[in-house]
Structure formats: structure tokens, C-alpha cells
């Protein structure tokens, strides 16, 4: 596969100034005052992206994801290493990046187009498509300083995807905006994939990365800790990094205190007939008592999340030492196929995974009926 993005031993440092300089005059007249420190944001990161690949970038806040994409797009220059790009690249890096607030949406379309290397004639040819996709016909001649955050994203994404790029780079901005427009953006990304274009996607949504991406890169404190198929990188992200995210009073301690030792089936295999129950015997080890919630996910072979249980309905008390817990799905309504089961223990609020196992089991489902799709539906016909 031809490589279109080569990242070779890229390191990026930022110099932080600490001192009493209040303005440029003080800095010039008293250069010796204060101190500087180097903040290492990316440390010797190397990978390549092949033509037509969709590659995700996962990591916690401050891991270096956005800095990496800015270096790829040429917004920032690496401190060391090099990046080679082959083909036309369009980047949507952050909310309103490159927009001039005093200019109208119309003027900003032409400005953004010129920054992407398009001539005015080329922008003229796609202008109506940009406005139609952004759904901003009524506001296109208003200054963008009056736009909402969702309107910024709609206009920026519309310009990027209509500039006919070979490589599309999208940072977390798709998290902004209503669900309908997010779905519209996902449809366009899938169209790009079908066209054989290359996509780099940063997202905090691990399920989205697993469903959309061929591969995923995981960054932690500037280091690349995984470059693997999307499912494997999501496992690394969730099992080793996500549990350390701040936001839950117990997440860091609980993550380090609890592990999943094993997952087995009482029958000795993970094969069922559509509609049967699924039983999973899970062995957990914890160095302290904890009250959490059990959660199970069913994922297709393509990595699409099909179902996730509601953790608020499954309280689970864990004692110190080894715990044998039985997870039971009373009925599995899926049709014939192979599925993966992810499971674990999450915080009481459900927002932090304390112990988690991606692809804990490969489930084979046999269906002997004549229905179609993913789920077995029951239909009753009655006189009206």
C-alpha cells in the first residue's frame, strides 16, 4: 500500500516562560528575569498512513493528539523529525480555525478555500455545495462572529469535505453540533472511505474510532503506546488509559486496584442459538472493597457497537481479593453470525471503566429461522 502520510521520529517541544515579565518592554529591557522550561508534547512518534486507510488517534486530554495533527497539517513545525505528505490535504482542526470573525460566511468560504490551495474559480464551482451542506443559506452573508459553535463546525466541515482532498484530517470538532448533523458528517466520511480517500480522525469516542477506522494510534503523554488494528488499540486505550481519566473520585485508585483475571463459560464454549441466554463467569481481583456497576457490550465483527447494557441497573459489590461473578444475559436476540463480547466493571456513574476486557469472548450465534438483519423480531398478527 502506498504511503501518503509519513511521520518519522517526530518530537515537539513548547518553551514555557515563567517569570515577572508583564509586557514586551520588560522582556527586552530585563531579559535575564524569569525562567524558561521545555514542555515535551510529542516524543519520537513514528507511523505511516497508507492510501485509502482510515486511521484514528486516541488519547486522553494532554496526550498530544491535536499537536500531532497540527504538525501533520503544517500548522506547527516539529522540533525534531519530519513529516512527508503525498496528495492534497484538508484539515478541520479546531472550532473556527482560520475564520476571520469580522468577515461573512461567504467571504470565509473563499478565504478558507485559498488556504487549502483552491483558486477562486475552484471555490465558485463548489460554493453552492458548501452552503447546502452547511445548511447556512440564511446566514451566509452574516459575520461569522455571530455564529454559534455548531454553525462554525458546519461551515468548517463543509469547506473541508468539498475541497476535494486526497487526505482529510479531522480533529475532535465533530463532537460539537446536533446529532443529526453529526450523522450527516459521518455519512460523508463513509462516502470518502468508499471513494478510497485517506482519513485521519481524532476522537474521544472509542466506539466511533472502532466503527470507522482500519487502524488506531494511542498516545499517552506524547508517547505512542499502540499502533494496531482499531479494536486492539481501543482495548489498550480503555484497559490501560481510560480508567486513569480524572472526573470520577475513585477512577484512578479503582483502576489500579481491580483487574479481570479470566472470563469463561459454564458450558465450556461461547455458542448459542438465537434467543438463548448467555452466561459469562468472570473472575475479578481487587485489593479493596468497591461498589461499582457491571456492564456488557456486544460488538459486530466490523467493530460496530450493537448493544450496551444499562450500568445503572446492575449494581455490583466487589470484595478484597478474588471475586467470582456471573454475568447473565437472559436472552440474546441476535441472528446468525459472529460477535465479540466486551465486559467489565464501571464506576457508579457509569463514566469510568475500573476493570475492562475488550473482546473477552467471541460469541457464535446460530439462527435456524428465515428472518434477516441483526435482531430477531417477534410479530403477532391479530384481527383489527
What is the full DSSP assignment across 95-150? TTTT--TTSBHHHHHHHHHHHTT--HHHHHHHHHHHHHHHT-GGGTTSBGGG--HH
Q: Are 100 and 156 within 8 A, CB to CB?
A: no
Closest CA to 158 of 186, 129, 195, 187: 129
345, 347, 353, 359 alpha-carbon torsion, rounded to 10° = 30
User: What local confidence, expressed as pLDDT, does residue 230 receive?
Assistant: 87
Q: Which three cell numbers stand for residue 325?
A: 461473578
Low-confidence ranges of the chain (pLDDT < 50): 243-255
Residue with cell 515577572: 20
DSSP category for residue 214: S
Using CA atoms, how far apart are residues 199 and 207, in angstroms rounded to an integer? 17
Distance CA 1, CA 14 (A): 34
Its pTM surpasses 0.75 = no
CA distance 312 to 333: 22
pLDDT tens digit sequence for 280-295: 999 999 989 999 999 9
User: Would you state the pLDDT for residue 32?
Assistant: 62
| CATH entry 1.10.10.10 includes domain 248-366 | no
Domain 3-238, second-level architecture: 3-Layer(aba) Sandwich (3.40)
Domain spans, the chain: 3-238, 248-366
For residue 200, count CB atoms less than 10 angstroms from its CB and return exposed for 0-12, middle for 13-18, buried for 19 or more.
buried
Residue pair 159/109 in contact (Cβ under 8 Å)? The answer is yes
Distance CA 163, CA 182 (A): 19
What are the backbone angles phi and psi of residue 253, rounded to the nearest 5°?
-65, -45
Amino acid at each position: 500500500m502506498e504511503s501518503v502520510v509519513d511521520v518519522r521520529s517526530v518530537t515537539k517541544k513548547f518553551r514555557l516562560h515563567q517569570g515577572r515579565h508583564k509586557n514586551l518592554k520588560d522582556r527586552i529591557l530585563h531579559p535575564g528575569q524569569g525562567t524558561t522550561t521545555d514542555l515535551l508534547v510529542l516524543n519520537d512518534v513514528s507511523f505511516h498512513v497508507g492510501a485509502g486507510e482510515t486511521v484514528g488517534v486516541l488519547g486522553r486530554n494532554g496526550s498530544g493528539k491535536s499537536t500531532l495533527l497540527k504538525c501533520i497539517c503544517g500548522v506547527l513545525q516539529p522540533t525534531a523529525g519530519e513529516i512527508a505528505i503525498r496528495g492534497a490535504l484538508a484539515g478541520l482542526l479546531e472550532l473556527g480555525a482560520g475564520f476571520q470573525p469580522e468577515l461573512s460566511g461567504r467571504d470565509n468560504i473563499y478565504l478558507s478555500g485559498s488556504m487549502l490551495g483552491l483558486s477562486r474559480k475552484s471555490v465558485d464551482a463548489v460554493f453552492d455545495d458548501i452552503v447546502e451542506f452547511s445548511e447556512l443559506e440564511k446566514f451566509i452573508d452574516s459575520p461569522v462572529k455571530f455564529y454559534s459553535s455548531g454553525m462554525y463546525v458546519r461551515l468548517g466541515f463543509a469547506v473541508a469535505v468539498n475541497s476535494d482532498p486526497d487526505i482529510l484530517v479531522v480533529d475532535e470538532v465533530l463532537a460539537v453540533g446536533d446529532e443529526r448533523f453529526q450523522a450527516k458528517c459521518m455519512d460523508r466520511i463513509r462516502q470518502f472511505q468508499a471513494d478510497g480517500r485517506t482519513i485521519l480522525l481524532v476522537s474521544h469516542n472509542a466506539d466511533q474510532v472502532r466503527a470507522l477506522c482500519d487502524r488506531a494510534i494511542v498516545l499517552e503523554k506524547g508517547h505512542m503506546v499502540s499502533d494496531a488494528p482499531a479494536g486492539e488499540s481501543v482495548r489498550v486505550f480503555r484497559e490501560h488509559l481510560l480508567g486513569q481519566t480524572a472526573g470520577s473520585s475513585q477512577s484512578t485508585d479503582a483502576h489500579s486496584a481491580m483487574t479481570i483475571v479470566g472470563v469463561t463459560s459454564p458450558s465450556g464454549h461461547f455458542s448459542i442459538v438465537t434467543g438463548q441466554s448467555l452466561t459469562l463467569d468472570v473472575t475479578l481481583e481487587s485489593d479493596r472493597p468497591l461498589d461499582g456497576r457491571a456492564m456488557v457490550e456486544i460488538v459486530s465483527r466490523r467493530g460496530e457497537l450493537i448493544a450496551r447494557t444499562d450500568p445503572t441497573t446492575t449494581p455490583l459489590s466487589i470484595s478484597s481479593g478474588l471475586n467470582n461473578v456471573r454475568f447473565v444475559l437472559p436472552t440474546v436476540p441476535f441472528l446468525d453470525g459472529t460477535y465479540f463480547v466486551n465486559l467489565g466493571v464501571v464506576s457508579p456513574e457509569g463514566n469510568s471503566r475500573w476493570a475492562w476486557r475488550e473482546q473477552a469472548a467471541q460469541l457464535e450465534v446460530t439462527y435456524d429461522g428465515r428472518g434477516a438483519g441483526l435482531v430477531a423480531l417477534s410479530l403477532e398478527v391479530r384481527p383489527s
